[in-house]
Amino acid sequence: GGGPARELAQAALGLAPALVALGNRDLAAYHGAEHKAIGAYEAGSDDPASATKEHERCGSNLVAPMLVASVAGQLLLERALERPGPLARAAVAALSTGLAVELFAWSERNPERAAARAFHRPGHEIQSLVATKEPTAEQLQVSVAALEEILRVEAEQAPD
């Protein structure tokens, strides 16, 4: 038992480590630099400073859907079973995560739909307010160098 309050408290506790880590301004700025480098690359631009620090495929976009699906799933489980065990709870958690990921994938394939934009809104706000900060020029250089190295290694490993 415990109901919605307990489920929300447990979900919030699960987010605490990420929020504490992102409270570090440098980490949040490097996260923003990563998004800017990737955004510029995807847009074919040589100017990552002009790209936004929020990105549509950031894991932050999964936070709200996973939270809602997890809380709803656990509450349904408690209604279905008098005393759900850890295996049942783990199964519901896995299904909730899968549902959130599938909704994320659907929203990526259907960006013109209002539901897809609504799906991304909480994640965009999380990125804007907490998860990313504007990077320094040096942080942006590190991010661009990292992306270039990833692309170089991928090109080397690509089948001919």
Question: What is the rounded CA–CA span in Å between residue 59 and residue 11?
Answer: 16
- With cut-offs at 50, 70 and 90, classify the pLDDT of residue 87: very high
The per-residue pLDDT for 28 is 92
Of 68, 92, 69, the residue nearest 80 (C-alpha): 92
Question: What is the rounded CA–CA span in Å between residue 47 and residue 141?
Answer: 11
pTM here? Answer: 0.80
25: amino acid identity, one letter: R
Mean of the pLDDT values across residues 102-131?
94
Handedness of CA 5, 6, 11, 15 (dihedral sign): positive
Sketch the domain layout of the chain as residue ranges.
Answer: 3-157
The per-residue pLDDT for 149 is 97
The per-residue pLDDT for 1 is 59
- Mean predicted lDDT score pLDDT of the chain: 91
Mean of the pLDDT values across residues 146-157?
96
